[in-house]
């Protein structure tokens, strides 16, 4: 049921009781569907989006483009696996274009991110080159707008 997955993706805090009303299904059926999605690996986790800029936590996010030489019979998978096991790494994507992988990492400082790239990422066998981009501000992430301006009832920005 794609509708259930979309509703859960938008708000994972909804209870099976709320979902059953929204989707006109029995509570037990909703629970069974969620359990099956979890056991099949369709639902792989639940996360809370936090606007860290509104806290006193200091960190930087970087998007690192990585060009690699694919390996025979393994393509990009083995290198991606090696990269995603580092605790600093938040996401790894295979992509088209001038680079092969996009790696998102978090560190306390730009220097810490630079150290990760120079000492851990770049020396990996088959990594040809990297390009690091620092995120300066998040406007929208996973469909959620950060710090959206308030609009009054007339449609004017406050």
* Mean pLDDT score, 23-44: 93
The tens digit of pLDDT for each residue in 40-55 reads: 999 998 888 777 778 8
* 3-state helix/strand/coil string of the chain: CHHHHHHHHHCCCCCHHHHHHHHCCCHHHHHHHHHHHHHCCCCCCCCCCCCHHHCCCCCEEEEEEEEECCECCCECHHHHHHHHCCCCEEEEEECCCCCCEEEEEEECCHHHHHHHHHHHHCCCCCEEEEEEEEECCCCEECCEECCCCCECCCCCEC
* Mean pLDDT score, 69-90: 92
Q: What is the pLDDT of residue 92?
A: 98
Mean pLDDT of the chain: 90
Specify the higher pLDDT residue, 153 or 133. Answer: 133
* Mean pLDDT score, 88-92: 96
pTM for this model (two decimals): 0.76
* Mean pLDDT score, 88-100: 96
């Amino acid at each position: 049921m794609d509708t259930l997955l979309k509703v859960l993706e938008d708000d994972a805090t909804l209870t099976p009781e709320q979902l059953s009303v929204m989707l006109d299904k029995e509570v037990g059926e909703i629970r069974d569907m969620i359990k099956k999605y979890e056991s099949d690996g369709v639902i792989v986790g639940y996360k809370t989006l936090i606007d860290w800029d509104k806290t006193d936590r200091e960190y930087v996010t970087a998007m690192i483009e990585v060009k690699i030489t694919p390996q025979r019979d393994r393509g990009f998978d083995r290198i991606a696996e090696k990269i995603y096991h580092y605790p600093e790494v938040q996401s790894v994507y295979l992509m088209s274009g001038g680079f092969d992988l996009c790696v998102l990492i978090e560190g306390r400082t730009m220097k810490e991110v630079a150290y990760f790239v120079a000492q851990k990422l770049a020396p990996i066998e088959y990594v040809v080159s990297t390009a690091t981009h620092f995120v300066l501000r998040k406007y929208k992430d996973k469909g959620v707008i950060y710090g959206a301006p308030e609009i009054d009832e007339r449609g004017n920005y406050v």
